[in-house]
Structure 1
Amino acid sequence: MFFSIEPGGDVPIYEQIVRQVKLAVADGVLVGGQMVPSVRQLAGELAINPNTIARAYQQLQADLVLEPLRGRGMIVRRDSLARCTKARNSLVGDAVRRALADALGGGMTPEALRELFEAELHRQAESVNANGSNP
């Protein structure tokens, strides 16, 4: 599994991991019953303190996304897809609300926003269709 971590970003690293695991489940990259990397393995790959990974995994357990598999590690819960899809939709909705507030507050008209949105949506959809993955 690939993680994109921004150490100096506004979002704490553990929360970035939580979000990315939820997005991966919602997108079908991670499926119910699939093992996730161990704390030690992921900490080594990302050059992050193992306690940060452990905190993310604890949060994912509390959010009913991961569950421990006795003696083997952590797996994605088989019933986590709906929760992760809802979380993804919430994250995207929050980002859209922030972008709209910034644009309207900066003087863009609803018509200009609509044109920009439609053009970017078309570009992104073409990119996904051409690559078979996210841009």
Structure 2
Amino acid sequence: MYVRVDPADATPIYEQIARQIKFAVASGALQPGELTPSVREMARQLAVNPNTVARAYRELQDEGILTAQRGVGLTVAKDAPERCRKERERWVYERLKQVVDEALRAQITPRQLERMLRDLLRSLPQQENTP
């Protein structure tokens, strides 16, 4: 599992870790029942304090994304993918809302903004599962 943290980001590192794990679950990179790296291993990979990883993992457990398996470690919960997809969609929606608000404050019309978004979407590589 690939997780990256950005110390320059204003988002706390434990939140960056938790969000990236959620996105990995949402995308299918982490499957239900799959083990996450141990706290020590993840901390070593990211060069962060183990308490930071432990906090991210506790948050994910509290949200029902990860489940503790006695003697094994933390695994992805069965219903986690759907929960993570919904949260990822909500997070992206909020970011888009911020961009739209900023564009409107800059006096960009909704029609101009729609054209920009359409152009941007057209410029992206096409994916096989695009609806």
Q: TM-score, normalised by structure 2?
A: 0.92
Q: How does 1:55-70 map to 2 (within 5 A)?
A: 55-70=55-70
1:19-70 CA distance string (max 9 Å, x none) = 1111111111111000111100010000011000000000000000001111
Question: Equivalents in 2 of 1:115, 1:108: separation in Å?
Answer: 11
Partner letter of residue 24 of structure 1?
A: A
| Structure 2 residue ranges without an equivalent (≥5) | none
Q: Secondary structure at the match of 2:127?
A: helix
| Structure 1 residue ranges without an equivalent (≥5) | none
Q: How does 1:17-32 map to 2 (within 5 A)?
A: 17-32=17-32
Match of 2:95 in 1: 95
Q: Secondary structure at the match of 2:116?
A: helix
C-alpha displacement of 1:4: 2.4
Partner letter of residue 41 of structure 1?
A: E
Q: TM-score, normalised by structure 1?
A: 0.90
Q: Identity rate of aligned residues, in percent?
A: 40
Large movers: runs of 4+ above 3 Å: none
RMSD of aligned Cα (Å): 1.5
Question: Equivalents in 1 of 2:72, 2:123: separation in Å?
Answer: 43
